Chain A
Amino acid sequence: MSRAEDTMQIANVSRRGLLKGLAGASALLLAARWDPALAGEQAQFGAGAMPGGWVDDPNVFIQIASDGVVTIVNNRSEMGQGIRTSLVMVGADELGADWEQVRVHQADGDQDKYGNQNTDGSRSMRHWYDPMRRAAAAARLMLEQAAAKEWDVPVHEVETRVHKIVHKSSGKELGFGALAEAASQLEVPGRNALVLKADSELRFIGKESGLVNGELDSAPPKAIDGRDIVTGQAVFGADIDLDDTLYAVIARPPVYGAKVKSFDDSEALKVRGVEKVMPIEGAQQPAGFNPLGGVAVVASNTWAAMEGRKALKIDWDNGPADDNATYTTDTYRKSLEKAAESPGKVVRENGGDVDAALESADKRVSATYYMPHMAQAPMEPPVATVRIRDGKAEAWAPVQNPRATRDGIADRLGMDRSEVTVHVTLLGGGFGRKSKPDFVTEAAIVAEAFEGRPVKLQWSREDDIHHSYFHAVTVDRMDAGLDADGKATAWRHRTLSPSIGSLFAPDPKHLQEFEQGMGLNTMPFDIPAIRLENPPAPAHVRIGWFRAVYNLPHAWAIQSFAHELAEAAGKDHRDYVLDLLGPDRKIGNLTVGDGWNYGEDPDKYPIDIARMRRVIERATDEAGWGRETDKGRGLGLAFHHSFVSYAAIVFDVEVDDEGQLTIHRADIAFDCGPQANPERLRSQLEGACVMGIGIAMQNEVTFEDGVAQQGNFDTYLIPRMPDAPKVLRVHLIDNPGDAMGGAGEPGLPPVAPALCNAIHAATGKRIRRLPVGDQLSG
């Protein structure tokens, strides 16, 4: 049996079925009652405000077999952030389990059962840490109660040691496995009966392990899929292997919104292995998560399908595409730059008279910054397998949003959601691309034509880059006035970029609240006159989430401009921005016109200037800020608050006479409040640094007449090993007292501006247009 079938079988049996299937060898925790979260507990902020909310029922998340094996359910998608390890680690620690006896089971897409599963927004740990600890604490208490009953002693006399319960005075002990059956007969205790472990009792949570800034710590890192990954046994979406599978690819319209006018499949059908060619009806604009349409080629293997597609002759009708067929990014950039000359919709004002302050300033500084379209380009291109049988759909897919995947298939095929099963595989990278399940719906459409047969729908790299949900192109026009001391007295920021809102509704042409909340309105500088404006910018391609989303351009423009102000003032960059941040204070998001705050409670998650200051000081101190550098070498700083966490980075770079960049070192300081798994936090920040170097130096998708001009890694460049910093250090701020923040995204926004600021320090060259590309040569 292949691994995929193995996975499928486990996913298909009920808990009781698993008990029976193992012939009574296992006893699972099957509790009588666990109240769903009360309405009052499912609140307006945080996990409780998400669709499906949170769930902390131990029956849902924790199973203990009579042989002692503990299986913990992971309800979030694993795309490299390490959540399968980290969330399971949290549960195992609270439970008191021996890590060697812990297994993970990946939840199918079912938000009614598992709570919210939409894996984006850097939310997995910050929303699921508490529910997972409660679920595990409840299971532990039940094991303790079962042991106390067995020994006929009061429960307070027993305690949990690693994978066993002991009676202190008599020295009796029973393992988790031996107690599982008896524990399963008990009622689940109420939440108010739970006592979570004290920090001093924790063995895994918050503990460093693995490689810490070049030093190998004694404890190895926990990586629940590590062995499978390095031996090639891990099952990604592409690796689902079901009997009788057909393989499909789709030729999609090159222009967003275009349709198939006619096609000739006579040559395609001659390709050996091709079984069928079929048109796929595309969605109307705005497309949302619906497929783009086109012509599908179905074959006996992936390569035959790709060869068949090459042989298709298709006439496209750009008629329904509005003016998307004339979209050329170079022209578009110029039109945004022109629009940036005029006032736009005001999205934040602090009462100061910006125009007067700009007029009366001793010095005026202006700059316009550009960030291009980018494709997420996860190493595993979109891929999905779907089988339709007896009116039901079953999908195996690497998706960040299993609920949207279910709904996409159900809506398109006219099924009830309950008839659609989504098995979530490992994701070979996500970065926002796999939040959009258009590719799974495509597989379902093709599979419907082959009742009972699995269809694997594979995207090529060209498909992936041509038909991304692109990161928005952005022009940011900045104007500031400085007083005689160089202190900023006026700050005017006009930002123009197409909105993700254009994907779901008639193009709003303005940033939505959550888009403004990503580092635009939440700009923390203490300046007497601030006005933020958002002139209109239409969308001509699918615009979508890319890791850190609108924080990328906002941080890039604001952090570059702050450096320009320091330079104009003749001040040290660090000193200047620390002064510009003003006194330590906690800024409520509503006071800066942001009603979103990443969905979090403003009281728990204010913008905390002291925390911002601390990451800046830590990164600059670690980097040796202020030290003398040789000619052609320099240090650059940037910082940013996003996903309710704080990040600062300093680059030490060198640019030679030919314009060749060498990154000697990066020092990243990061404060996300409490740390569940510092080892994976480090890996996220290291990865964000490298990805951010790509955003600064290389990433760009351009369009000519509506058609993407890059298609593969020979033209859409991403960082390679020689592009990485020679030394990459992460400094985690010890801050258990604040509420937990995100980790997957907040490391990314400050990277590009810090690198460009460092390039300026090294060369005097100011980068205002990304990517840097060949701007350093000549």
Chain B
Amino acid sequence: MISLTINGQKHDMYVPEDMPLLWVLRDVIGMKGTKFGCGISQCGACTVHMDGEAIRSCATPVSEATGEIETIEAMADDGVGRNVQQAWLDLGVAQCGYCQTGQIMTATALLKKTPKPETQEIVDAMAGNLCRCGTYNRILAAIEKAADMEVSQ
């Protein structure tokens, strides 16, 4: 049996050990905010946090997801995540929106570690998240805006 802690809640299940966390989240648990984009850690649409680190759930076997997992569904209850979401709305970042949950997860992980990042630090941190609509300039501006916001818990 596999035991996962997702957004503070424990989930026990019988799934193959090598099943990627992404498909456990989406097809087994039914949490759809984490997206499938490539399956090989190239696009970042599947980004979640494990013990605060941004990881690619599409390439993380569920047996290795032993830490505290947080997904986009928990970000509205997270001080930094909420700021990032609000900055995204204030700047109208999303076009189709499909990649944006992964973008927000990567951005939130960055700001938790580095609350006032330099522009180049943002670009480096976000380089693994693809957006086919091409919203990168607004993503960058939104992260800079979120970094200027006060974090309330």
For B136, the chain A residues whose CB sits under 8 A away are 690, 719-721, 724
In chain B, what residue has the closest Cβ to A465? B38
Report Cα–Cα, A724/B140, bound state, in Å.
10
Whether B91 pairs with A429 at a CB distance below 8 angstroms is no
A226 at the A/B interface (Cβ < 8 Å)?
yes
In chain B, what residue has the closest Cβ to A679? B92
Whether A722 pairs with B127 at a CB distance below 8 angstroms is yes
Chain B residue total in the interface (Cβ 8 A): 60
The CB with the most chain A CB atoms within 10 A, among B20, B35, B75, is that of: B35
Interchain Cβ contacts within 8 Å, total number: 197
Whether A721 pairs with B92 at a CB distance below 8 angstroms is no
Within 8 A of A (CB), among B124-140: 124, 126-140
Report Cα–Cα, A2/B140, bound state, in Å.
33
| Interface 1/0 per residue, B83-107 and A, CB below 8 Å | 0010011111011111111001000
Whether B19 pairs with A303 at a CB distance below 8 angstroms is yes
Output the least CB separation between A746 and chain B (Å).
15
A247 at the A/B interface (Cβ < 8 Å)?
yes
For B150, the chain A residues whose CB sits under 8 A away are none
| Interface 1/0 per residue, A342-380 and B, CB below 8 Å | 000000000000000000000000000000000001111
Report Cα–Cα, A378/B37, bound state, in Å.
9
Known contacts A229-B94, A236-B98, A712-B38, A303 near B20 by CB under 8 Å: yes
B76 at the A/B interface (Cβ < 8 Å)?
yes
Whether A239 pairs with B32 at a CB distance below 8 angstroms is yes
Whether B23 pairs with A303 at a CB distance below 8 angstroms is yes
Whether B39 pairs with A683 at a CB distance below 8 angstroms is no
Known contacts A226-B89, A719-B136, A234 near B20 by CB under 8 Å: no
In chain A, what residue has the closest Cβ to B89? A226
A431 at the A/B interface (Cβ < 8 Å)?
yes
Whether A380 pairs with B33 at a CB distance below 8 angstroms is no
Choose from B35, B96, B129, B139 the contact partner of A79 (Cβ within 8 Å): B96
In chain A, what residue has the closest Cβ to B135? A687
Whether A713 pairs with B33 at a CB distance below 8 angstroms is no
For B128, the chain A residues whose CB sits under 8 A away are 720
Output the least CB separation between A143 and chain B (Å).
31
| Interface 1/0 per residue, A208-251 and B, CB below 8 Å | 01110010100011010111011111111011010000010000
A46 at the A/B interface (Cβ < 8 Å)?
no
For A428, the chain B residues whose CB sits under 8 A away are 35, 96-99
Whether A429 pairs with B141 at a CB distance below 8 angstroms is no
Known contacts A713-B130, A724-B134, A232 near B38 by CB under 8 Å: no
Whether A232 pairs with B132 at a CB distance below 8 angstroms is no
Whether A687 pairs with B95 at a CB distance below 8 angstroms is yes
Output the least CB separation between B132 and chain A (Å).
5
Choose from B40, B71, B131, B137 the contact partner of A232 (Cβ within 8 Å): B71
For A687, the chain B residues whose CB sits under 8 A away are 95, 133-135
Known contacts A429-B98, A721-B140, A302 near B42 by CB under 8 Å: no
In chain A, what residue has the closest Cβ to B134? A690
Output the least CB separation between B118 and chain A (Å).
14
In chain A, what residue has the closest Cβ to B74? A232
Whether B19 pairs with A231 at a CB distance below 8 angstroms is no
Whether B95 pairs with A234 at a CB distance below 8 angstroms is no
The CB with the most chain A CB atoms within 10 A, among B27, B99, B101, is that of: B27
Known contacts A225-B97, A428-B96, A722-B123, A714 near B40 by CB under 8 Å: yes
Whether B40 pairs with A223 at a CB distance below 8 angstroms is no
Output the least CB separation between A453 and chain B (Å).
15
Whether A241 pairs with B85 at a CB distance below 8 angstroms is no
B43 at the A/B interface (Cβ < 8 Å)?
yes
For A233, the chain B residues whose CB sits under 8 A away are 33
For A221, the chain B residues whose CB sits under 8 A away are 89-92
Report Cα–Cα, A586/B12, bound state, in Å.
70
18 A-B pairs besides A230-B94, A301-B27 with CB distance below 8 A are A80-B95, A82-B95, A214-B141, A220-B89, A226-B94, A229-B97, A231-B72, A232-B71, A302-B27, A302-B36, A430-B96, A679-B92, A687-B134, A713-B40, A719-B134, A721-B129, A724-B137, A724-B140
A-B residue pairs, 8 tightest by C-beta:
A232-B33, A690-B134, A428-B98, A80-B96, A80-B95, A221-B92, A229-B97, A232-B72
Residues of B within 8 A of A (CB): 16, 19-20, 23, 26-28, 30-40, 42-43, 45, 71-73, 75-76, 85, 88-92, 94-101, 104, 123-124, 126-141, 145
What are 23 sample pairs from A and B whose C-beta atoms fall under 8 A apart? A216-B91, A216-B145, A229-B97, A230-B104, A231-B33, A232-B32, A232-B73, A238-B36, A241-B30, A241-B32, A301-B23, A301-B28, A306-B39, A378-B96, A380-B98, A426-B96, A428-B35, A428-B98, A461-B38, A679-B92, A680-B92, A712-B40, A713-B38
